[in-house]
Structure 1
Amino acid sequence: MMRKYLGAAAVLAGSLLCGAVMAQTYRAEYRLSTVLNTAFTWGQAGERWAELVKEKTQGRINIKLYPGASLVGGDQTREFTAIRQGVIDLAVGSTINWSPQIKELNLFSLPFLMPDYKAIDALTQGDVGKDLFTVLEKREVVPLAWGENGFREMSNSKRPIASPADMKGLKFRVVGSPLYNETFTALGANPTQMSWADAQPALASGAVDGQENPLSVFVAAKLPTVGQKHLTLWHYVADPLIFVVNKQVWESWTPADRDAVRQAALQAGRENVEKARKGIAGKDNAILKQIEAAGVTVTEPTAAQREAFVKATRPVYDKWAKTIGADLVKKAEAAIAKR
């Protein structure tokens, strides 16, 4: 009886100790960063991840969404550094915005590397995606799943664009990455880097003529209302999203809860990709019809016309392939060729 009593007491003491540790370790709330809010599929992905985590951990982990890169004053290129520093606990982040700190993520911004959605999947769901997760793991973050913001298409307020010559002299808002500056400069345009928060007022005032973003963003941001009446479907780069957790935060959770957070990220990522492609991919062109109904002229370059864009940007591609890593780029090209 005494042995049973002591055994039960030990179990109880262990449970109390575990509870005390949990009480000290688990915060009342964790901060999740996204660049876009819940009017966009990107923000919805963050919201969905938070919902699933709460559900799968029975409320032990509560996450609050901070959209608009608000935890870094709206400067989306500082987001990854803030995750490493612990200012941000979790994020659904863009490979573009994190590429200034993680050079390998520039892979997805190589002009005209990925011709279709199968090409994106060949990278994110294959060995290349695993290699990139390994790179991130060395930077004090834990990558869990891939999402998607989509192929970035080009719009402007001046004229239809079907060739690099049509871009000459036009001012385009681009994200804060040198690769985008060089790509648009090679095409004869005048690129201007600015945050998304500053982009819409700049488009409305005419300070810039055009921009490049996925169609889901074009619609949700109501860009035709700020003069974007000409859209070119050129699929020049894509913008995968990555679900990550700060490493110290991750290690503060129990293995069971880590698995729950991972499974929540994988589910939210799958749902996000499906949403990002709805109305755009394959034979589903509902979003395109919606854009045309708003009075937008849509130009889809022929194969020959697209090749002119490819040729003009090839020197940029070759230069940045060295920066990203020749072996990684070759592996990506091979994966796409086999898709």
Structure 2
Amino acid sequence: MIITDRIYGEFKVDGILEEIIRSKPLQRLKGIHQGGASYLVNPNWNVTRYEHSIGVMLLIKKLGGSLKEQIAGLLHDISHTAFSHVIDFVIENDEEDYHEKIVKTVIEGSDIPNILNKYGYDYKEIVLDDSVWTILEQPAPNLCADRVDYTLRDMSAYGQITPLEVRLFLENLSVKDGKMILHNIEAAEWFTETYYKEVIDFFMHPLNIYGYDLLVKALKASLMKQVINLDDLLRTDDEVMDILRSSEDQEILSIIRKIHPGVIVKEDPCSWDLHRKTKIRIIDPEVLHEGILSNSSVLSQNVRATGKKILKKAAEGSFVRIVSDEKKVIIR
């Protein structure tokens, strides 16, 4: 199998990695969007968990990570429900880790254990403890393959960064003692700025907040009225939307009719209709400077200032005013 990725280029993948990629659980992720409700209000916000999972695996491979860690990277989002983290708002899970809580159940109900066993691997060793995979996952504010890939992938897809910028950043990225580091402060400053573009200009974008808010309301009502159950959320985004649209429940239909690309919203802290705070996300890459590893905030005033800015924004949250939620009808 030849994979051509928008971030990392062309790679040949075979054996266990190819079998996992072709498996039903991985293929389902083609229908799970990274941004949850975002694709419903802006069709261009369409990066999927499948693309991201492939990307994480390729980044680990590029950095010299073991085959086991590549497998872990490929499987790390396997249990994401439809609309990704929207479910965490539906069930009011502040840690935003519902997919981690159900990963054992999801894996055991799939053919993944058999695929791994065929090649001599135990799924429990690979999937159930991310802490052993130090390239794949790190606690904030460190770099890790998961955090780096979704930032580069989203910001590249949405036109916020260029291919040249991505290439120069990756050239300065390596692994030391099992952890991602950068080799100059300029790369750290660039990634910090890019990561906060992801947080503020995408995660906290007023249109994204609007879509999340209404989809959360629709899913809460659907669960309460037993139009769907939690197992239904292990389908794809579009399959769940089809269930909601065919429900004939007027409350649910009234909500989802307002989730469409024609919505006009703006940030307005003085006159707002929606206010939402999201999980605080901080980054502080480690940099190898004069032979010593240091956090970039120690070396850079820009990184420190940007970090303060994001903390302030996260504490305030997003204030969204709905200018128009009417769907335009095109008469031909």
TM-score range, shorter chain: under 0.3
Largest Rg, 1 or 2? 1
TM-score between both structures, scaled by the size of structure 1: 0.27
| Higher RCO structure (Cα 8 Å, ≥6 apart) | 1
Select the structure that is richer in strand.
1
TM-score between both structures, scaled by the size of structure 2: 0.28
